[in-house]
Copies of this chain bind each other. A is one copy, B any other.
Amino acid sequence: MASNPANNNIPDIVIGRLPVYLRALNRLTQEGEEVTSSHELGRRLGISSAQIRKDLSHFGGFGKQGTGYQIAYLEEKLRQVLQVDREWKVALIGAGDLGNAIGNYRGFTDRGFHIACIFDADEEKIGATVGGLTVQPMAEIESTIRERGIQVAMIAVPAEHAQAVTETLVDAGIKAILNYAPINLDVSKRDDVHVQYIDPVLHLQRMTYYLKG
């Protein structure tokens, strides 16, 4: 088990499945289970058990053939691999309807993330409270992020402002951006910055392709 496995050249698609496994294990724990198997996980996730065993084998494997996985142990190991055995402070940019929903969402904290500050450009929103935090002006993004050593940010601003916000964030030291604005961000100049996207319409359109009108 590498504690900082980023140099291991494990395919990103494998890394992308680990949080899904961790979420399923959390659910099993909530249901009172203590042991599971690649078959049980695969059945729940619609992924083959062979794929699950192969994915986990990149990290040394976590179970013995025939005896299954100790859920608590596997959860802890996956948290270590994903580095969510600690709490990451997150900067949230945008305090509109979406920023409010994100700021009030209670599902981040027990999965490794804590929204630590929130910013908006709208004078009327600055000073308001969202999820217990006071909305700060955009001009304070860089100093706040630097002072607090924040590496993770979420963008919930209109599409036309998202690229400018991104550049401010990257200049301030942000290394991971979850972008809710419906636009692709250009971070091609910075190969140490990771971007992921949330756009519900992309998912809906991917499904309507298959529907009978």
Seen from chain A, the residues whose Cβ lies within 8 Å of a Cβ on chain B are: 4-6, 12, 15-16, 18-20, 22-24, 27, 44-46, 81-84, 86, 88, 90, 97-98, 100-102, 104-105, 107-108, 111-113, 151-152, 154, 159, 175-176, 178, 182-184, 186, 188, 194, 196-213
Contacts and interface: CB of A to CB of B under 8 A. Distances in A.
Given A203-B198, A204-B113, A184 B97 contact: no
16 contacts: A6-B211, A15-B206, A16-B206, A18-B206, A23-B182, A23-B202, A27-B159, A81-B209, A88-B204, A113-B201, A152-B204, A152-B208, A176-B211, A194-B207, A194-B211, A196-B204
B176 A204 contact: yes
A151 to B, nearest CB: 6
Contacts of A104: 97
Given A98-B105, A183-B27, A83 B208 contact: yes
A21 B171 CA distance: 28
A199 B111 CA distance: 12
A86 B213 contact: yes
Interface centre among A24, A101, A105 (most CB of B within 10 A): A101
